[in-house]
A and B are shown apart, each in its own frame.
Chain A
Amino acid sequence: DAGVIQSPRHEVTEMGQEVTLRCKPISGHNSLFWYRQTMMRGLELLIYFNNNVPIDDSGMPEDRFSAKMPNASFSTLKIQPSEPRDSAVYFCASSLASKTYEQYFGPGTRLTVT
């Protein structure tokens, strides 16, 4: 299996621009998680989906952030408009719904907003 695939691996954008991060979970996994990692705040869960349905989005920082999962093999995290404080590494992870503690992480997208 190819594991969790994220794109792009690096993104540099200017403040105010729209940013879209993409994730392909492991085939057969039906839970998907978006995390943000920074030195100051550590690892934060932004949102997670079960069977393509958002279950908990309490970690989404504000309305500038949105996430979708149109099908079982694809999810996006969008930031519009982006701000410098959004600079972080964004991870996508997937798991079986019966074992959400056993998460498989992608390599992450390093976002820099200037």
Chain B
Amino acid sequence: AQSVTQLGSHVSVSEGALVLLRCNYSSSVPPYLFWYVQYPNQGLQLLLKYTSAATLVKGINGFEAEFKKSETSFHLTKPSAHMSDAAEYFCAVSAGNNRKLIWGLGTSLAVNP
């Protein structure tokens, strides 16, 4: 069985500061891992994905995440926050291709001027 824990339901950073959103997973098989972003009043969109290739994954809008098996983590980072990054971010895991996504509860990111 798979599960996802996102540490911190709300994160607030200053514009230009580092963004770090934490995600830990549990999986009995090698996982696929994902970050999705939800802007206000919109549906979710895929930000980046890890599907057993390179452990450092780059996504859209300058975000990246690193798969660390030893820590069962897949934290999302961005070196410099922009006001437009304010959104809800969801981490998800699946047991491989064609398997149901298991979602975290989400982390709301606020960016202060």
Query: B-contacting residues of A (Cβ < 8 Å)?
Result: 4, 42-43, 45, 48, 56, 91, 93, 97-108
Q: Is B105 positioned at the interface, with any CB of A under 8 Å from its CB?
A: yes
By a CB distance below 8 angstroms, the chain A residues around B51 are 101
How many positions in chain B have a CB within 8 Å of any CB in the partner chain? 22
Number of A-B residue pairs, CB cutoff 8 Å, is 54
Q: Output the least CB separation between B80 and chain A (Å).
A: 27
Q: Is the interface of B mostly helix, strand, loop or mixed?
A: loop
| Interchain CB contact under 8 A, B42 and A101 | no
Q: Does B49 sit within 8 A of A, measured CB to CB?
A: yes
A101 touches B94 (CB 8 A): yes
The interface bits of chain B over 40-62 (1 if a CB of A lies within 8 angstroms of the residue's CB, else 0) are 01111110010100000000000
A42-B106, A98-B98, A102-B49 as given contacts; A108 in contact with B34, CB under 8 Å: no
- With A101-B34, A101-B94, A102-B49 as contacts: A48 and B43 at CB distance below 8 Å: no
Complex Cα distance, B98 from A99, in Å, reads 6
A107 in contact with B101 (CB, 8 Å): no
Check B101–A91 contact: CB distance below 8 A: no
Which residues of chain B are near A97, meaning CB under 8 Å?
98
Assuming the contacts A98-B97, A101-B94, asked whether A42 and B105 have C-beta atoms less than 8 A apart, the reply is yes
CB distance B98 to A100 under 8 Å? yes
Chain B residues with CB under 8 A of A42: 103-106
Q: How far is the CA of A45 from the CA of B99 in the complex (A)?
A: 13
